[in-house]
Structure 1
Amino acid sequence: MAVDASRPLAVATDRVVVNQDTLDGASVGGLYAELVRNTTAIQKSLQALSLDDGILVLEPIVSKLLARMIYCSNRIDDVGGDWDATMHLCQPIFRSKKSTLDVYREELEYEALVDSCRQPRSTIVTPADIRREHEIIQHAKAAKYMLTEVYLHGHELSEEILLNTHRIMTYNIDSADGAPPTEYGGVYRSSSAPSQTSEQSALTTDLAGIEKDELLKAVSVASNYCHVFCNIRPFSEGNGRMGRLLLNAILLKTVGAVACLGNDTQSRESLKAVGDSVCGSPKREQVSPGKITATPHLHGPEALRSMVLKSVVESTRHLAKALRAETGIRYSNAA
């Protein structure tokens, strides 16, 4: 996935900063202030580099962040593998310069890569092992496709992009009830199609209404559409991961950052407590809302917005720190 170092992140002041707490009691105003600091620091670091150097520095950092996004999302839905396997399989996908439109033709190129994940062959490789590897690979390819189309190419989040993303994500993976991917991949449930089409039109309007400096509004819009997508559940499977890809496509387009929801056990429990609003797997046992004691007044989309904001701040903090380290090293070497 190509990295566009020439596109500035959205940095400025929202017209209104709501004085309220997030799910874990942190101040929205405090998180917002840090988000502005982080995005400002990122922009300054990139401005200190040439375009080519900026791309060279960003690529490994961003590809690792996107691999973390895939890993966390998979953990929420109990699919995929561990962090080492996810990182190993995702890095070549996100750092590849190949067009995402050729994604179906790449399968054979990962045969050796997948085999290397199974070494040493001290145990028998089971169909479940192979499925987990496919879940990682196809999720990463789907993310690369959607983020490239929406962020780098500047396309609207159309029905075609959503269907192609789901088709890529489910490629070569049978459904839980044994249906082949050709029967459910990129296919709406008949009852959900009208609602999904309506929401896509509304999303286009809402995105157009976000000014480049309205970071909190962007987080709110992204979270709301993730929530709506989950309530519609347009596909027979994979709605959780699709909802979070939609969330991050909007965030990357409007804020210049992604949210790695489900980064640890506590956040995954919080996500399960929120339930449908964060696209939790319907097969998972829901955690009682009573287990979350901080700011119990936050529920559903409000709780999701809280978690998304916190995660975006964490992602930008990590990116700003990594860029400072890289630019510092480069300045030292130049001297």
Structure 2
Amino acid sequence: MRGLSGRLAGTFSSGWPSWRSVRGGAAPNFTIRLAASLEKEALKLNLPADPAMIIADARKTSQQQGVSAFPQVWEALEQSLITLVYGSNLIETAGSNLRITVKLCRAIFRGEQVEDIIDEHDPEYKEHIEVLMSTYRKGDHAGVAQSRKEVIQHAKALSFIIDHVILNNEPISEALILETHRILYGSMGDDEVTPGRYREHEVAVSYSKPGETKRKVSRCLRASAVPKYMKDLVENLNQEITEAEQTENMDPYTLAARYHHQFVMVHPFGDGNGRMSRIIMNVLLLKYAGHITLFGSEGTEKDDYLNIVGRGRKVFEQEDMEVEFLEQTGHYEFARFVLAKSRSGLEQMLTWARRERNANVSK
């Protein structure tokens, strides 16, 4: 195995999900305990087993089977990571179609070199142009290069943070967030965005469906407030993980949703905030739940997600500086959404664990 799969395989036999302590001590043996606000959502998923049991079962099976069982897990995980890049880009009207995204991401995750610029005579060039035109973007050579960068750099940023948080077992830090954004947004050619640096200008979030002229607009936090909010975000995140390690109780869905919500509310960069928030959310889920959550590419998922974020913003504006951080509720609805969209990941884990056990019994 090469690339990201080869690097992750080494952590597999110690247990998947990888629960090594960020404090450097013995790995915690977490019990997954969902927040009360998520318990009803878990029942609505109608899974053949409780999420906590599925995660514990997968972890035990990975420890028993070791590295030899990882290729099967990686096959599903790689496809999920590709779908994550595709759906996350689609939410932002960025990137390319699924076929091109699959091709580029697979190359990145497997450690291959990929060029963002292709010749006009390349068989894929016309396909790139068609994708751009269908999403009301400029269908020219610069647009083709930009759309390829949006896939390539997204995959590289995702791979980078997985390496550091899961493989190297590093806590999420401001430096790590800044470097991930630099990789995600580097060489995009946007004069108003400095890759890897917090914004120094005011921004507003706007949303409209492709082709529509009417936009929903919400102003974000003042630029002068961003450094303090990001410092607090990172400190709160790592303190919450430390306390979870000490009690050995973990709710990965609430954890991931809370810090996605907070990141989006802060909106620390000139652009790329949505993609960064979903990268951070999913690396937390991957580390503590063993799977990622996918949305943005099917049906009304994009609108549902953006509407939830919008409602969360209203709650944030009411609670910020008025309610203690861990008592704030702006992420509650999103946490239910994250758990609901985790169904496929949980089903894959359960299917794999049962298949491995049955194979052992038949030997």
TM-score by length of structure 1 reads: 0.75
After superposition, what is the alpha-carbon deviation per residue over 1:15-62, rounded to whole angstroms, capped at 9, x for unaligned? 86557644xxx63695695323432443354345342x1233333322
**Aligned pair in 2 of structure 1 residues 41, 19: CA closer, same or farther (>3 Å)?**
closer
Deviation at 1:188, TM superposition (A): 0.3
- What is the DSSP-based 3-state SS (H/G/I as helix, E as strand, rest coil) of the residue aligned with 1:156? coil
**Aligned pair in 2 of structure 1 residues 112, 230: CA closer, same or farther (>3 Å)?**
closer
Q: Is the 8 A contact 2:198 2:227 kept in 1?
A: yes
Q: Is the 8 A contact 1:70 1:140 kept in 2?
A: yes
Deviation at 1:320, TM superposition (A): 3.6
Deviation at 1:66, TM superposition (A): 0.8
Two-structure CA RMSD over aligned residues (Å): 3.5
After superposition, what is the alpha-carbon deviation per residue over 1:138-169, rounded to whole angstroms, capped at 9, x for unaligned? 00100111111011111111111001000000
Q: State whether structure 2 residue 82 is matched by structure 1 residue 67.
A: yes
Q: Is the 8 A contact 1:15 1:214 kept in 2?
A: no
**Aligned pair in 2 of structure 1 residues 32, 139: CA closer, same or farther (>3 Å)?**
farther
After superposition, what is the alpha-carbon deviation per residue over 1:165-216, rounded to whole angstroms, capped at 9, x for unaligned? 00000122122xxx18xx510110232122111211111101112248645x
Deviation at 1:7, TM superposition (A): 3.5
Matches of residues 16-31 of structure 1 in structure 2 within 5 Å? 17-18=36-37, 21-22=40-41, 27=43
2:321 aligns with none
Q: Is the 8 A contact 1:14 1:213 kept in 2?
A: no
Q: State whether structure 2 residue 309 is matched by structure 1 residue 275.
A: yes
Out of 279, 296, 301, the residue aligned to residue 245 of structure 1 is 279
Out of 13, 19, 37, the residue aligned to residue 6 of structure 1 is 13
Out of 198, 204, 216, the residue aligned to residue 232 of structure 2 is 198
Matches of residues 14-53 of structure 1 in structure 2 within 5 Å? 14=33, 17-18=36-37, 21-22=40-41, 27=43, 33-43=49-59, 45-47=61-63, 49-51=65-67, 53=68
Letter in 1 for 2:79: K
2:93 aligns with 78
**Aligned pair in 2 of structure 1 residues 27, 188: CA closer, same or farther (>3 Å)?**
same
After superposition, what is the alpha-carbon deviation per residue over 1:112-155, rounded to whole angstroms, capped at 9, x for unaligned? 99669952556776322221111011001001111110111111
Letter in 2 for 1:194: K
Distance 2:124 2:287 in 1: 41
Out of 131, 138, 142, the residue aligned to residue 157 of structure 2 is 142
Distance 1:306 1:117 in 2: 47
Q: State whether structure 2 residue 206 is matched by structure 1 residue 189.
A: no
**Aligned pair in 2 of structure 1 residues 186, 278: CA closer, same or farther (>3 Å)?**
farther
After superposition, what is the alpha-carbon deviation per residue over 1:231-253, rounded to whole angstroms, capped at 9, x for unaligned? 11000000000011111122222
**Aligned pair in 2 of structure 1 residues 112, 208: CA closer, same or farther (>3 Å)?**
closer
- What is the DSSP-based 3-state SS (H/G/I as helix, E as strand, rest coil) of the residue aligned with 2:339? helix
Q: Is the 8 A contact 1:226 1:277 kept in 2?
A: no
1:286 aligns with none
Out of 106, 116, 123, the residue aligned to residue 119 of structure 1 is 123
Out of 166, 173, 189, the residue aligned to residue 181 of structure 2 is 166
Identity %: 23
1:295 aligns with none
2:206 aligns with none
Deviation at 1:65, TM superposition (A): 1.3
Q: State whether structure 2 residue 299 is matched by structure 1 residue 265.
A: yes
Aligned residues: 293
After superposition, what is the alpha-carbon deviation per residue over 1:70-111, rounded to whole angstroms, capped at 9, x for unaligned? 111111111111111111111122233xxxxxxxxx8xx313
Q: Is the 8 A contact 1:230 1:243 kept in 2?
A: yes
Q: Is the 8 A contact 1:73 1:261 kept in 2?
A: yes
Q: Is the 8 A contact 1:5 1:58 kept in 2?
A: no
Q: Is the 8 A contact 2:182 2:195 kept in 1?
A: yes
Q: Is the 8 A contact 2:154 2:184 kept in 1?
A: yes
2:351 aligns with 321
Matches of residues 213-252 of structure 1 in structure 2 within 5 Å? 214-215=249-250, 217-252=251-286
Q: State whether structure 2 residue 167 is matched by structure 1 residue 152.
A: yes
**Aligned pair in 2 of structure 1 residues 226, 86: CA closer, same or farther (>3 Å)?**
same
**Aligned pair in 2 of structure 1 residues 47, 6: CA closer, same or farther (>3 Å)?**
closer
Structure 2: where are the runs of 5+ without partners? 20-29, 130-139, 201-223, 314-328
Q: Is the 8 A contact 2:117 2:145 kept in 1?
A: no
Distance 2:272 2:40 in 1: 31
Structure 1: where are the runs of 5+ without partners? 97-105, 280-298
